[in-house]
Chain A
Amino acid sequence: MIPGVSINEILTLTSILFFVGIYGFITRKNLISILISVELILNSSVINFVVINKYLYPELLQGMVYSIFIIAVAAAETALAVAIIINIYRRKGSVEVSETETMKH
């Protein structure tokens, strides 16, 4: 609990982060940019978990633990995504989304 900051304000912040992430996800044309947007979205949800845990149920640990899991998953996801991006780059010489329209080869 942060003194002087209500839960609504923090939730507003995370909502904004979330939609900024979505905006980026939709508009960016580069795989790495998209990855960054996804990170934003994930982060906003992690913050939500933590905040709700802290403000509403401070005696429990669920939100806390799950945010740890989410961070772990996000790390794994990033690692995989980067691996895929690099593979695509090696095959195509580009990481633009428009280049990866074809779903299979």
Chain B
Amino acid sequence: MVTSAIAAVSSRKMLRSVVYLLFVLIGAAGLYFQMDYNFLAAIQLTVYAGGVIVLIIFSVLLIHHIEMELEMAKRSRQAISALLCMLGLSIFLATIYAHPFETAGITSTTTTAEIGRALLSTEKGGFILPFEVISVLLLSAMIGAIVIAKGGGKIKQPIEEKTDAERILEEITEEVTKAKKQEEEIGV
């Protein structure tokens, strides 16, 4: 997973880095499976590995020539960033290992029905409000994506790009709808 992640951010070929990202996401889904969160793992696979990655791949395909080498930042910049990240990481790890976690030790299986109930519950500990907010957010994101991708202003290569844009647009809409549907399925 870590290797894949590092590969994802350091690969010079766009498509490859996307695929590495896919590996990371699948790894995360594996973690969820192991933790007995099957539903979450399923969502991770469908939404992330399925939807988001496909989306990104499409945009990459649209925009880049597959063989194109990616430009990287300056060496010094990379080094400083790496140093900084290592520093931050060491702080994190030091904190994590210094903190005594009280592991609960019991294992309980969570069913999809429980999650659904929790999401729609209006009682204490229910998530109906965030759920609704997220629904509205998804809707607005969908509309926003359509508006932006349709785009006004000057277009550099109008005819050629327009068809691409439209294709992408459909893709986006589809994905978003899918995500939303998923959420609604959970709710129902």
Mostly, the A contact residues are: helix
Interface residues of B in 4-31 (CB under 8 A from A): 5-6, 8-10, 14, 17-18, 21, 24-25, 28, 31
Q: How far is the CB of B173 from chain A (nearest CB, A)?
A: 9
Q: Is B31 a contact of A78 with CB atoms below 8 Å?
A: no
Q: Is B9 a contact of A91 with CB atoms below 8 Å?
A: no
Q: How far is the CB of A58 from chain B (nearest CB, A)?
A: 5
Interface residues of B in 136-166 (CB under 8 A from A): 137-138, 141-142, 144-146, 148-149, 151, 153-157, 161, 164-165
Chain B residue nearest in CB terms to A69: B134
Q: Is B66's beta carbon under 8 Å from chain A?
A: no
Give the docked Cα–Cα distance between A84 and B5 (Å). Answer: 25
Q: How far is the CB of B65 from chain A (nearest CB, A)?
A: 13
**Given A22-B85, A40-B21, A85-B63, are A80 and B52 also a contact pair (CB < 8 Å)?**
no
Give the docked Cα–Cα distance between A50 and B116 (Å). Answer: 17
Q: Is B188's beta carbon under 8 Å from chain A?
A: no
Mostly, the B contact residues are: helix
When each residue 67-86 of chain B gets 1 if its CB lies under 8 Å from chain A and 0 otherwise, what string results?
A: 00011110001100110011
Q: Is A64 a contact of B168 with CB atoms below 8 Å?
A: no
Residue from B28, B59, B93, B176 within 8 A of A15 (CB atoms): B93
A-B contact number at CB 8 A:
255
Residue from A27, A76, A79 within 8 A of B9 (CB atoms): A27
Q: How far is the CB of A79 from chain B (nearest CB, A)?
A: 5
Q: Is B108 a contact of A78 with CB atoms below 8 Å?
A: no
**Given A27-B78, A74-B48, A91-B155, are A64 and B40 also a contact pair (CB < 8 Å)?**
yes
**Given A20-B85, A33-B17, are A27 and B77 also a contact pair (CB < 8 Å)?**
yes
B residues with CB within 8 A of A: 1-2, 5-6, 8-10, 14, 17-18, 21, 24-25, 28, 31-32, 34-37, 40, 43-44, 47-48, 51-52, 55-56, 58-60, 62-64, 70-73, 77-78, 81-82, 85-86, 88-89, 92-93, 96-97, 101-108, 110, 114-115, 118-119, 125, 127, 130-131, 134, 137-138, 141-142, 144-146, 148-149, 151, 153-157, 161, 164-165, 168-169, 172, 175-176, 179, 183, 186
Q: List 23 A-B contacts (CB under 8 A).
A: A1-B107, A12-B93, A15-B92, A17-B2, A19-B92, A20-B85, A21-B5, A28-B73, A40-B21, A43-B48, A47-B31, A50-B32, A56-B101, A58-B107, A75-B51, A75-B176, A79-B55, A82-B55, A83-B146, A83-B149, A83-B172, A91-B154, A91-B155
